[in-house]
Structure 1
Amino acid sequence: MAAPDLRKRLTDALSNSGSASSDFDLNKSIQPMGLTQTPAAVLIAIRPALETVILTKRSARLKHHPGQIAFPGGKQDPTDATLTDAALREAHEEIGLPYGIVDVLGALPTHQTVTGYQMTAIVGVLTADFDPIPEAGEVSEVFEVPLAHLADPANYRIEGRHWRGQRREYYAVPYGPYYIWGATARIMRGLADGLQ
């Protein structure tokens, strides 16, 4: 079970986490036109003993977002009764996270991605230890970042690059050799704001 102060900080953050976000928040001139929003969920899994967040580096062989840093997660399947079920199933498939060792605390407001997903981040604290096993077809690496780093707004910056002929800005929160950006950074920034 998570330390009471960590659990309280996280549940307070979830209740103060603001409103929905999107990949278009920093790019008012780029707006989705008729973009289908497929329900999806990611898991912000926190290891309480170390107060670290588990992240993945996506396989370079993937068609979408190869090599990017992401939370374990994916689209909601018909067999997933809830978005929480989707997040837990995906975490089990992608990193070998056993069912039943996540104390789910709640969800952040949804995040709309430029790739057509309505993403819900489920926040949970691990109740037991486990050794991650990356699913080779999807995940090239599983690593952890201190929650303190991701919870500090000073570690976030707004960067940009050209996308479809226009400059697109996004949040980034680099950590060591890991360039955490885009939807992953924006979702984590929402939790960071709630933790303040």
Structure 2
Amino acid sequence: MRGDDLRDRLVRALGQDSEPSSDFDLNANALLPAQRALTGAGVLVAVDPRRRSIVLTKRAATLSQHPGQIAFPGGKIDPGDTDAIDAALREAGEEIGLPRDAAEVLGTLPAHETVTGYTITPVLALITRPFAPVAEPGEVAEIFDVPFDHVVDPARYMVMTRLWRGTERRYYAVPYGPFYIWGATARILRGLAHRFSK
């Protein structure tokens, strides 16, 4: 599939209607706080059409939240950000060294609520030119590519369980080589896979 064909299919996928997702999708009995306060965040789902891949990071093991987990570049919306797209592009520059002018934003996927109190807006973008990835010290342990065809294949996803705060929690996972992609990252990618496979 050529880069322009991939772009066209991604744009078509963005045009499909779907509901927001959450870490609670597979946990119908989860009790959500009635007056929970959610923090807005933006992550960049950066597709490289030349390599037919998506850029992901492994978070540093020393971080207080989600240490060592696989994640999209991104983070919370800061006061200086205009919106989630601005936050995702800023964070991608900081975390992986992706210049803003090397990313063409195609649109956003439905928001995803995490068990840690964030509402994440996934920003789908194409990497328009080669760049030299640089991991942000103390934040990012590793930057890697996962093949696009791997994460848009619904058959690659599995439902796993683990204990979280004394309760069994079910979640999606889509392992790739040594990287265990799970939780919010896997759920967002599964949403993209569902749209892309239609």
> Given the two structures, how large is their TM-score scaled by the length of structure 1?
0.97
Query: What is the match of residue 25 of structure 1?
Result: 25
Mark the CA change 1:17 to 1:176 in structure 2 (over 3 Å): closer, same or farther: farther
Q: Which residue of 1 aligns with 2:10?
A: 10
- Unaligned runs of 5+ residues in structure 2 are none
Helix, strand or coil: the match of 1:100? helix
TM-superposition CA deviations, 1:52-83 (whole Å, max 9, x none) = 00000000000000000000000001111121
Identity of aligned residues (%): 55
Instruction: Give me the whole-angstrom Cα distance separating, in 2, the residues matched to 1:189 and 1:16.
Output: 14
Aligned counterparts of 2:90 and 2:154: Cα–Cα separation in 1: 30
SS at match of 1:44: strand
How far is 1:123 from its partner?
0.3
Pairing 1:48–2:76 present? no
Report the CA distance between 1:180 and its aligned residue: 0.1
Give the letter for the 2:30 counterpart.
I
Name the residue aligned to 2:82.
Answer: 81
Which stretch of the first structure deviates more once superposed, 25-34 or 164-173?
Answer: 25-34
In structure 1, what is the Cα distance between the partners aligned to 2:54 and 2:31?
A: 31
4+ residue runs of structure 1 moved beyond 2 angstroms? none
What is the alpha-carbon distance in structure 2 between the residues aligned to residue 51 and residue 17 of structure 1? 25
Deviates more, 1:2-11 or 1:155-164: 2-11
Letter in 2 for 1:139: V
Q: Secondary structure at the match of 2:100?
A: coil
Shift of 1:95: 0.7
Q: Secondary structure at the match of 1:67?
A: coil
Partners of 2:41 and 2:127 in 1: CA distance: 21
Measure, in 1, the Cα distance between the counterparts of 2:111 and 2:127.
22
Aligned-pair CA distance for 1:42: 0.2
Distance in structure 2 (CA, Å) of the matches to 1:17 and 1:138? 34
Conserved 8 A contact 1:17-1:190: no
Q: How does 1:47-196 map to 2 (within 5 A)?
A: 47-196=48-197
Tell me, what secondary structure is at the counterpart of 1:53?
strand
How many residue pairs are counted as aligned between the two chains? Answer: 195
**Aligned partners of 1:164 and 1:142: how far apart in 2?**
30
CA–CA distance in 1 between the matches of 2:17 and 2:108?
9
Deviation at 1:16, TM superposition (A): 1.7
Q: In structure 2, what is the Cα distance between the partners aligned to 1:55 and 1:46? A: 10
Helix, strand or coil at the partner of 2:12: helix
Query: Which consecutive residues of structure 1, in runs of 5 or more, have no partner in the other structure?
Result: none
- Could you tell me how far apart the structure 2 residues matched to 1:51 and 1:31 are? 40
Q: CA deviation at 1:17?
A: 5.3
TM-score (norm 2): 0.96
Contact 1:93–1:135 under 8 Å retained in 2? yes
- What letter corresponds to residue 87 of structure 1 in structure 2? A
Contact 1:57 / 1:142 at 8 angstroms: preserved in 2?
yes
Distance 2:45 2:88 in 1: 9
